[in-house]
Amino acid sequence: MLGNMQAALKHSFSQAVPPYTITYFAVRGRCGALRIMLSDLGQEWKEVVVNFDEWMKGDLKKTCVFGQLPKLQDGDLVLYQSNTFLRHLGRKHGAYGKNDNEAALIDMFNDGVEDLRTKYVKMIYQEYDTGKEAYINGLPDHLSKFEAVLEKNKSGFLVGDSMSFADYSLFEVLLNHQVLSPTCLDAFPALKGFVSRMSSRPKIKAYLDSDAYKSLPINGNGKQ
């Protein structure tokens, strides 16, 4: 655990004051998509890694708006809720569509990804031993919906012809599902192509190859 935390801490970059600070446990968890998005945008950030024993003392919890992490600081702005982070970055860095209609569709797809993420998290933390097989068997039903969207929108992105925060969110959820079930995308060529294109974007590739990424477990209970 300490090794992971040190590797993650090293992920504070060369810039004197990185604009963003992530406060979270030593996991990819609900910051996986955020970190991939920040990397691809060429943004630097600082990690404050919270030890679970320290968290259990309750002092930090009391300061969190919903009593939970992660927390994202952008200068004086302090945010909670991981999907809020993605939307904030999307707004600031041009990854929230070209107009209100595109923004609404991006919200819709990100909410769809969130539904899948919530089911995944429930299975990982509450039903891994008893429910993993059924979860994997049910995956095609969920994945086929995203496959259809990418097939229809020929640009390679979920909405319009450019990257949005929902693309990072979908990408990260798919990466985690490929760890859970390495063949889960075999019947979905559009999703497979999407993951391959996203993975080979130079800044994403560099981040996925980094110790900072590799040293963090996907989930806090070690299941994946």
Question: How many chain residues are in contact with ligand GSH, going by CB under 6 A?
Answer: 9
Query: According to the binding rule CB under 6 A, does residue 82 interact with ligand GSH?
Result: yes
Query: According to the binding rule CB under 6 A, does residue 81 interact with ligand GSH?
Result: yes
Query: According to the binding rule CB under 6 A, does residue 68 interact with ligand GSH?
Result: yes
Residues between 150 and 179 with contacts to ligand GSH, criterion CB under 6 A? none
Q: Cβ 69 to ligand GSH, closest distance in Å?
A: 4
Give the number of residues written for the chain. 224
Terminal C-alpha separation, the chain: 16
Q: By CB under 6 A, which span of 10-18, 61-69, 124-132, 202-210 interacts with ligand GSH?
A: 61-69
Residues 112-131: x/- map of binding to ligand GSH (CB under 6 A)?
--------------------
Give residues with Cβ within 8 angstroms of 105, minimum separation 6: 97, 158, 159
Question: Pseudo-torsion of CA 37, 42, 45, 49, nearest 10°?
Answer: 50
Residues 11-50: x/- map of binding to ligand GSH (CB under 6 A)?
------------------xx--------------------
Query: According to the binding rule CB under 6 A, does residue 73 interact with ligand GSH?
Result: no
Query: According to the binding rule CB under 6 A, does residue 210 interact with ligand GSH?
Result: no
Between 64 and 205, CB nearer to ligand GSH: 64
Q: What's the CA gap between 80 and 178, in Å, rounded?
A: 28
Query: According to the binding rule CB under 6 A, does residue 90 interact with ligand GSH?
Result: no
Angle of CA points 58, 63, 66, to nearest 5°: 95
Tracing tokens 């391959």 back to the chain, one arrives at 196
Q: What's the CA gap between 96 and 91, in Å, rounded?
A: 6
Q: Cβ 214 to ligand GSH, closest distance in Å?
A: 20
Query: According to the binding rule CB under 6 A, does residue 89 interact with ligand GSH?
Result: no
Q: What's the CA gap between 85 and 80, in Å, rounded?
A: 7
Where helices occur in 41-127 by DSSP H, the ranges are 52-56, 59-63, 82-92, 100-126
Figure out which of the listed residues 18, 32, 70, 97 binds ligand GSH, where binding follows CB under 6 A. 70
Among 160, 132, 149, 128, CA closest to 194:
149
Q: Cβ 209 to ligand GSH, closest distance in Å?
A: 25
Angle of CA points 179, 212, 60, to nearest 5°: 100
Figure out which of the listed residues 69, 150, 163, 170 binds ligand GSH, where binding follows CB under 6 A. 69
Binding site for ligand GSH (CB under 6 A): 29-30, 61, 68-70, 81-83
